[in-house]
Amino acid sequence: MSTGLTAQQIEQFTELGYLMVPDVFTDDEIQPLRDEITDVIDGAARRMLAEGKISQTWEQEPFETRLTRLYNECDEILPPIVGRAGGGHSGPAFFEFISNKSLLAKIGSLVGPEIIGSSVYRIRPKMPGYAKGAVPWHQDSGYFSPHCDKDLIVTCWIPLVDTYPENGCLQVLPKAHREGVSRHFTNGPGGFLVIEEQDLPVPGPEAVTVPVPAGGVLLMTNLTPHCSSQHEKDVVRWAVDVRYQSADVPNNIGEVPADYSEERPTHEIACYPPEADFVLQSPAQPEMVVDSWHAFHEIRQRFENERPPGPRRGWVPAETAQA
């Protein structure tokens, strides 16, 4: 039976803004996603080999290093995995991973029994030389609509390999989630939003580096400042980040892109409109639960070719602000 968080764990999450929980996933629960990603890499590699863009498929390399070999020859290997702004690959094993019962039990301890899979997820392969592998200081709320700033959206950072300082695990600022949303700038390192050093919460605690083993999960609030640095190890630090929220938080369940309108009341506008939200647990309305990859895929396809605009927070490029 899947168990939720302990009272002590909930207290730490509430007090510090983050919590690392080991052993949420078993190796057997992680492996199907590793295999699915490997299949995507293999298909892309064979296509690029046929097109003469790489010298070999590097299929003898293990999961932790194969992508580095391919990327060093041709960066076209990445789009089938990381996709565009909405996340990337989303096959059946990925859906089973993000709907894992043990994970949802932990999330339910924080948001309640009605659990919505939030709009945005990422598959993140951090490797040497990949600019988007490192992410500068930011809060997830910096990407979301301002009307959701006071709502809890739980970020789950889930590595598929053991992570530690040398291969780029995350850093967080404890207790800084109490200070609201800091000023962000656009066009930060890797093209991401960034909180410049002078805008980090002051007085602020020192950053904490949080190693997470494969199978563990780092839980954070949407207001928790966090970042990750580049690493030079000849391995890929594979990780997935996904987000969950209560059904009380604004969402776009059951909608299509054409339903979006800025004229609607803010409580009817999703925190991140360009992506589709979906119900993962609902004792109140069990018929609404997305319990198969086919249903999940159909929902996401609605937003594939036509997307509502992203939130407008008024962030500007750092160079503009300094001019």
More confident residue, 206 or 217: 217
Which region, left, alpha or beta, applies to residue 180 given φ > 0 means left and ψ of -120 to 50 means alpha? left
Predicted confidence (pLDDT) per residue in 31-81, tens digit: 999 999 999 999 999 999 999 999 999 999 999 999 999 999 998 998 888
pLDDT-derived band at 168 (thresholds 50, 70, 90) equals confident
pLDDT at 84: 60
In angstroms, what CA-CA distances link 164 with 37, 107, 161, 167, 169? 22, 24, 10, 6, 5
More confident residue, 305 or 260: 260
Residue 291 phi/psi, 5-degree rounding, is: -115, 15
User: In terms of Cα–Cα distance, which of 29, 12, 65, 246 is closest to 158?
Assistant: 29
pLDDT at 304: 83
pLDDT-derived band at 134 (thresholds 50, 70, 90) equals confident
Residue 275 has pLDDT above 60, yes or no: yes
Q: Label residues 55-88 b or e (16+ Cβ within 10 Å = b).
A: eebbeeeebbebbbbbbebbebbbebbbeeebbb
Q: How many CA atoms lie within 13 A of 64 on its CB side?
A: 11
Strand locations in 168-306 (E) = 170-172, 185-186, 208-210, 217-220, 226-228, 237-246, 278-281
Cα–Cα dist 68/234, whole Å: 7
Helix (H) or strand (E) holding 135: strand 135-138
pTM metric for this prediction: 0.94
C-beta atoms surrounding 206 within 10 Å: 7
pLDDT at 322: 55
pLDDT at 289: 98
Q: For the packed helices 66-73 and 27-50, what is the interaxial angle rounded to 10 degrees?
A: 20
Residue spans per domain, the chain: 7-316
pLDDT at 320: 64
pLDDT-derived band at 323 (thresholds 50, 70, 90) equals very low
Predicted confidence (pLDDT) per residue in 216-263, tens digit: 999 999 999 999 987 777 889 999 999 999 999 999 999 999 999 999
Cα–Cα dist 77/48, whole Å: 8
Work out the angle at residue 220's Cα, subtended by the Cα atoms of residues 89 and 37, and round it to the nearest 5 degrees.
Answer: 20
Predicted confidence (pLDDT) per residue in 79-110, tens digit: 888 876 556 788 999 999 999 999 999 999 99
Helix (H) or strand (E) holding 300: helix 293-301
Residue 46 phi/psi, 5-degree rounding, is: -65, -35
pLDDT at 233: 79
pLDDT at 204: 61
User: In terms of Cα–Cα distance, which of 121, 110, 83, 93 is closest to 29?
Assistant: 93
Cα–Cα dist 79/88, whole Å: 8
pLDDT-derived band at 189 (thresholds 50, 70, 90) equals confident
Average pLDDT over residues 115-126: 88
Residue percentage of the chain with pLDDT more than 90: 76
In angstroms, what CA-CA distances link 253 with 73, 250, 276, 280? 41, 9, 7, 11
**Averaged confidence pLDDT in the chain:** 92
pLDDT-derived band at 19 (thresholds 50, 70, 90) equals very high
| CATH architecture of the domain with range 7-316 | Sandwich (2.60)
Average pLDDT over residues 119-130: 83
